[in-house]
Amino acid sequence: MSGNFRGYVSLKPPIVGSEGRLVSGYSADVPPRQLSQQSFLAISRISLVFLYAIIITGSLVRLTGSGLGCADWPQCSTTKFVDVSTGHAAIEQINRLFTGIVSAAVIAAVLGSIFVSPRRKSLIWLSSALVAGVLAQVILGAIVVFTGLNPWSNMAHFLVSLALVSTAVFLVEQAGATNVDGVLAVGEKIEPTRQITRRFADLILGLCGLAIVLGTFVTGAGPHAGDENAIRLNFDLRSITRIHSATVLICITATLIFLFQIGRNASEWSRLRAKLEIFLFVAVAQGGVGYLQYFAGVPAQLVAVHVAFAVAVWISVLRLWIAARK
């Protein structure tokens, strides 16, 4: 291993082989038939992007009222496996086909975790969890259809998707780590995060998670069920929306206090600042979209933006939390 110390794997770009030929996807340190860390990182990122994208395509199914566009499962109807004869069926069908792409991405992640050099248990566990999660989602998707879009099954479907995105975020973090043993490889020394900073990070993650779960209750009680005949949660829409938005405001306030808190510590400030600012920016923007859609009578287009931003908020808070745990 060139220029490294024990346990450190270089994240060099694909490089030129011994005879000057380009050895795509392999670093000089990686034996043939094995994957470089860099290639594995790319596969992990692709899985994350697809897992994010399918949440958006899934929400489009709901927001266009196409939830029962295919009334059967796994085939679209009792007579046709694939049916694109109506707009609703086509939208639901595209979403189902997209599941195939997501499945291929997470299977590639598992294979990559086996062939990556050096092999690490954490990568194998995390990528296997992605495959298990996608399988669980296929079953949950069937339950959503067979229960006639019951809001509880819809909420579970969304939250499991978010758990999958979280797993992919951990996978990307692990795959991008410049060390194998969990020790910083570059010789860089970081001061351990203070206890108070860790507690704050836990609090913000918890509040953000709560806001997201409450958001799914708002959706479950709101007008966008995915089909006009689907049952709705029996909550007062205005009250549950207020609880949802109040949690968001508490979360943003806690984040501002956190900002001042870490501002007093140069090491934490330099390490967490960028992630904190990204989270604050996305969360505040999401809050704005939330109020806008509420006062505009929840138009489907804005709800779609709100769903997309909800995932971005969660990814950014999770990355902040991971950085604060180091």
Total chain residues near ligand HEM (CB under 6 A): 27
Indicate the residue among 111 and 213 with the shorter CB distance to ligand HEM: 213
Measured between its terminal Cα atoms, the distance across the chain in Å is 27
Indicate the residue among 47 and 241 with the shorter CB distance to ligand HEM: 241
Count of other CB atoms within 10 angstroms of residue 78 = 7
Bond from prior residue into 74 cis (ω within 30 degrees of 0): yes
- State yes or no: residue 61 binds ligand HEM (CB under 6 A): no
Q: Are strands 22-23 and 15-16 parallel, antiparallel or unpaired?
A: antiparallel
**Binder to ligand HEM among 51, 283, 318, 324 (CB under 6 A)?**
283
Question: What own/partner pairs with CB < 8 Å and gap ≥ 24 does 194-202 have?
Answer: 194/265, 194/268, 196/261, 197/258, 197/261, 197/262, 197/265, 197/268, 197/272, 197/324, 198/324, 198/325, 200/254, 200/257, 200/258, 200/261, 200/324, 201/258, 201/320, 201/321, 201/324, 201/325, 202/321
Nearest to 65 by CA among 303, 306, 235: 303
Nearest to 218 by CA among 315, 310, 92, 140: 310
DSSP-derived 3-state class of residue 83 = coil
Per CB under 6 A, the segment of 1-9, 29-37, 122-130, 239-247 that binds ligand HEM is 239-247
Indicate the residue among 96 and 244 with the shorter CB distance to ligand HEM: 244
Per CB under 6 A, the segment of 77-85, 184-192, 272-280, 298-306 that binds ligand HEM is 298-306
Per CB under 6 A, the segment of 105-113, 117-125, 128-136, 284-292 that binds ligand HEM is 284-292
- State yes or no: residue 211 binds ligand HEM (CB under 6 A): yes
**Binding marks (x or -) toward ligand HEM, 147..166, rule CB under 6 A?**
-----------x--------
- State yes or no: residue 255 binds ligand HEM (CB under 6 A): no
At its nearest, how many Å lie between ligand HEM and the CB of residue 89? 21
- State yes or no: residue 113 binds ligand HEM (CB under 6 A): no
Secondary structure element (H or E) that encloses residue 22, with its range: strand 22-23
- State yes or no: residue 306 binds ligand HEM (CB under 6 A): yes
- State yes or no: residue 291 binds ligand HEM (CB under 6 A): yes
The residue ranges that bind ligand HEM (CB under 6 A) are: 59, 158, 211-212, 215-216, 218-219, 222, 224, 241, 244-245, 248, 283, 286-287, 290-291, 293-294, 298, 303, 306-307, 310, 313
